[in-house]
Amino acid sequence: MKFDIDAKYFHLIFDSISQGIFTIDESGRITSFNRAAEKISGYTSEEAIGRNCYEIFSADICQKDCPLKYSVRTLRNSEDREATILDKDGSEITIAITTTPLLDEDGNVVGGVEMFRDLSQLVELRKKIEGSYVFEDIVSKNNTMLKIIKRLPLFATSSSTVIIGGASGTGKELIARALHNLSPRKDKPFIMVNCAAIPDNLLESELFGYVQGAFTDAKKDKPGRFSLADGGSLFLDEIGEISPTMQVKLLRVIQEKEFEPLGGIETKKVDVRIIAASNKNLAEEVEKGNFREDLFYRLNIIHIQLPPLTDRRDDIPLLVEHFIKRFNALQGRHIKEIADDALAALMLAPLPGNIRELENIIEHAFVMCQGDIIQLSHLPQQFELYEPQQVEVSEQADNTFEAAETRVISQALQKHHGNRSKAAKELGISRNTLWRKMKRLNLLD
């Protein structure tokens, strides 16, 4: 039995499909655009129809290797091609594309059909599992951070050792991964060791491996982290925690590029770039006699010092927005933004855990928030202490983030009767930084 479906139902079906779908004519112009395509791309069907598909999607494969053009030209399907597009707001979105030619009743090509699905959640999960955050995940507009970011590609081309300094939670691992991902070693392993988490009596075998019979439970040979990182990069986090004995052994590997596994007599050559990090000031540790001077100078060829979040509070709005996008992708949520008073409280409160603490706070807010805007009540309870009073907002602060920053600074100044030194101390920034912010926000008298 054959059923004829009214044309109006085709539109209902077309718009009910969860994947983005659009069709093009022979010239490449969009002729239909479903609701899922609107949601993913940010363009309405009215905006998209009649335009070339590359104008809407700006995909990285549009000009050189377009799967839709391939299907129209060869009459073959193309399935699950991964591509990156730009949505209407200019944000990158990873999608999977399936294309097929569109034929009339006589078998003539009249255009093509593309179906695509948003892979953002999958990409974020893949990053979380593999730990493969790349250069673009470093989010900042702070001048100090921008100088560091600008130099990273230059540092990455070298094989010289690196020390990354900074308090816990400032992003040392992210910088280390960026150095590796931007380097000629990017296709080789990136191996990480948290020196503070491994007892000293186990650290040697962890770094250098061991041979069968080296100790009671050594049933077979086991390669160490240096062997696993051969050709790539070895990230030694919290290197300031290792003992003087281990410092000597590490110095030899850096100098000679060779080592012996625990219990072994055969010397192994290794080609590894050492990237070290510490939340301690290693120069001061050298003066105290806690860290070998010769090892320090071997490591300290390139030094990158990351500022604490209190010295880059102008990055808090950007980081909050970044974490909202990340948790939306990971959790399948659709939270739009954070309320002004909640953002202002984050900018005013001390954050000793730095970026990691801020990320945890936003994750907490995602648990508490049942709507689409994070409110002050969704933050951990202690942030209620930093609720800003209603103060006049400068007309120059024409967006949510600047408005919040203006509120925070104005509140601190009001609290301390205009004393900039006390206000700066409460905000966790220097007096010069406060003056620059006040100048930018037109808060100077």
For 103-149, the pLDDT digits (tens) are: 888 888 899 999 998 887 777 766 665 555 545 578 888 888 889 98
* Interatomic CA distance for residues 16 and 32, integer angstroms: 14
Average pLDDT over every residue of 385-414: 62
pTM beyond 0.85: the answer is no
- For residue 44, pLDDT beyond 50: yes
Q: Quick one: tokens of 262?
A: 């625990």
Q: Quick one: tokens of 213?
A: 């019979």
Q: What is the pLDDT of residue 130?
A: 54
Q: How many CB atoms lie within 10 A of CB 107?
A: 7
Mean pLDDT score of the chain: 85
For residues 217, 218, 222, 224, the Cα torsion angle rounded to the nearest 10 degrees is 70
**Which domains, ranges and CATH numbers included, belong to the chain?**
7-118 (3.30.450.20), 129-307 (3.40.50.300), 310-440 (1.10.8.60)
Do residues 307 and 167 make contact, with C-beta atoms less than 8 angstroms apart? no
Q: Report which listed range, 12-26, 79-93, 235-249, 332-346, is most confident.
A: 235-249
Rounded to the nearest 5 percent, the helix, strand and coil shares of the chain are 45, 20, 35
Average pLDDT over every residue of 243-253: 92
Residue keyed to tokens 């990237």: 275
Of 169-183, 308-322, 360-374, 401-415, minimum mean pLDDT range = 401-415
Q: What is the pLDDT of residue 390?
A: 39
* Interatomic CA distance for residues 377 and 384, integer angstroms: 7
* Interatomic CA distance for residues 211 and 196, integer angstroms: 24
Which residue, among 146, 211, 137, 243, has the nearest Cα to 181 in the 3D structure?
Answer: 137
Average pLDDT over every residue of 181-199: 92
- For residue 176, pLDDT beyond 90: yes
Q: What is the pLDDT of residue 391?
A: 35
- For residue 401, pLDDT beyond 60: no
Q: What is the pLDDT of residue 146?
A: 87
* Interatomic CA distance for residues 328 and 322, integer angstroms: 10
Q: Which residues is 234 bridged to in the sheet?
A: 191, 274
- For residue 270, pLDDT beyond 50: yes
Instruction: Kindly give the pairing relationship between strand 373-374 and strand 268-269.
Output: unpaired
- For residue 396, pLDDT beyond 60: no
Residue 441 carries which side chain, given as an amino acid letter? L
User: Percent of the chain having pLDDT more than 70?
Assistant: 89
Instruction: Please count the residues of the chain.
Output: 445
* Interatomic CA distance for residues 389 and 218, integer angstroms: 64
Which residue, among 342, 306, 310, 309, has the nearest Cα to 324 in the 3D structure?
Answer: 342
Q: What is the pLDDT of residue 3?
A: 42
Q: What is the pLDDT of residue 392?
A: 41
Of 45-54, 196-205, 424-433, minimum mean pLDDT range = 424-433
* Interatomic CA distance for residues 308 and 187, integer angstroms: 31
Q: What is the pLDDT of residue 394?
A: 41
Instruction: Kindly give the pairing relationship between strand 30-33 and strand 20-25.
Output: antiparallel
Of 108-117, 198-207, 224-233, 428-437, minimum mean pLDDT range = 428-437
- For residue 395, pLDDT beyond 60: no
Q: Report which listed range, 368-382, 391-405, 431-445, is most confident.
A: 368-382
Which pLDDT band holds residue 280 (cuts at 50, 70, 90)? very high
Q: What is the pLDDT of residue 318?
A: 86
Q: Which residue has the higher pLDDT, 397 or 259?
A: 259
